[in-house]
Amino acid sequence: MSTFSPAPGAAPVLRQLVTQAGMEARLMLRNGEQLLLAVVIPVVVLVGAVQGADRIGLGIDGRTVDVLTPGVLALAVMSTAFTSLAIATGFERRYGVLKRLGTAPLSRGTLLGGKVAALLVVQVLQFGVIGGVGLALGWRGPDGVGAVLALILAALLGTAAFASLGMLLAGSLRAEATLAAANLVYLLLLAGGAVVLPVSAYGGLGDVVRWLPSGALGEAVRAACDGAVAVRDLLVLVGWAVGGAALTTRTFKWE
């Protein structure tokens, strides 16, 4: 009698989650377009805005680099959790990847959890690169351990909000439409969503744009880097995350 015998069955959920997250992270980091959105564009925005702020007259109170670096960190979260996730998932639907994964022991929750975990891995790399560039430009960084924890909380809630919206977009539109819509929304929020610039720079519109997920995330990250917790903005992100997740659950199509 053989010492070994077949033991068919699914791997433990935690192992499935870690394996899926690793694969998703590798795919994102190997994709040139994803790297462009995740790292290159935010770094270019940061360097260009800091160097040209005085010439453009952005009307920023305080040191420019201390205001813009947290905003670009928020932009990096939006780039990865919304735009990159929406485009990648949209084309996975088109090519039948999600349909085939649905036949595996991998549950929908584990699949989505793996995607979110991969986003967090990529965001750690983003924060390292962008934070390093900011420090080189004179940024002071988060003020203490409390500020770091507040920054992590803002990033997590921002990821949840934008990931739910990205999945909502990817699960309800065709791949080409998702590509166009995700990039359009990204550009609109970059220009007028109070993610890089504070709401005070938008005059009377500031009270409106801070209710957008981009404005709430930008304000929460800026407050965190100053050692404060922007409770209202964090609650706005929770609202977007819950609303987006609820709509995604009802409308998401796997093929």
What confidence score (pLDDT) does residue 114 get?
Answer: 79
In the block, residue with structure tokens 């790292």: 39
CA-CA distances (angstroms) from residue 220 to 1, 95, 139, 224?
Answer: 64, 37, 17, 6
What pLDDT, on the 0 to 100 scale, is given for residue 9? 61
Profile the chain (255 residues) by mean pLDDT over runs of 10 residues.
Answer: 60 73 77 76 86 66 83 92 88 74 65 80 90 91 89 94 91 88 92 88 84 94 91 96 89 74
pTM: 0.86
End-to-end CA separation in angstroms for the chain: 46
| pLDDT (0 to 100) of residue 144 | 84
User: Quick one: pLDDT at residue 240?
Assistant: 95
Measured distance CA(77)–CA(74) in Å, rounded = 5
Reference 65, options 137, 115, 132, 158; nearest CA is 137
Q: How far apart are CA 102 and CA 79, in angstroms?
A: 27
Angle between helices 145-172 and 175-192 (to 10 degrees): 140
